[in-house]
Amino acid sequence: MSPQVVTLGEAMLRLSPTDRGRLQEATRLDSHVAGAEANVATALATLGVETAWVSALPENPFGQRVARSLRAAGVDLAHVVWEADARLGLFFIEFGSGSRPTTVWYDRAGSAFSTMTSFDPAAVGDV
């Protein structure tokens, strides 16, 4: 069956202190797969909508982590390009507490998606 929704975008790992504290004081970080388009595809697939995600991932454990997470939700990854010498984008978040606001830092330079120059137009088909 062809997907009803196709998303195109970058997935990253979100890293945050396990105790919702400050990054400079953290001894452990929680990691979560994130990225707007991957999140939309995952949410819709969880609701039973046929979805596909178009992107690029590095051929390493971080790329596999993202792929496993999306596949587990039922997202079609047939149009993901695997890059041997790339990296996965990361972002770090300190969740707000009291008067301290939530703060986010991105580390995306050189990610597999940032170097992606094209994708197969068949990925979007008749969607």
Is residue 66 a contact partner of residue 57, using CB atoms and an 8 Å limit? yes
Candidates 60, 62, 59; CA nearest to 35 is: 62
Q: Report the SS3 class of residue 22.
A: coil
- The pLDDT tens digits of the residues spanning 64-107 come to 999 999 999 999 999 999 999 999 999 999 999 889 899 999 99
- The pLDDT tens digits of the residues spanning 24-36 come to 999 999 999 999 9
Q: What is the pTM of this model?
A: 0.89
pLDDT of residue 1: 63
**Which domains can be identified in the chain, with CATH numbers?**
5-118 (3.40.1190.20)
Q: What angle do CA 104, 34, 105 make, to 5 degrees?
A: 15
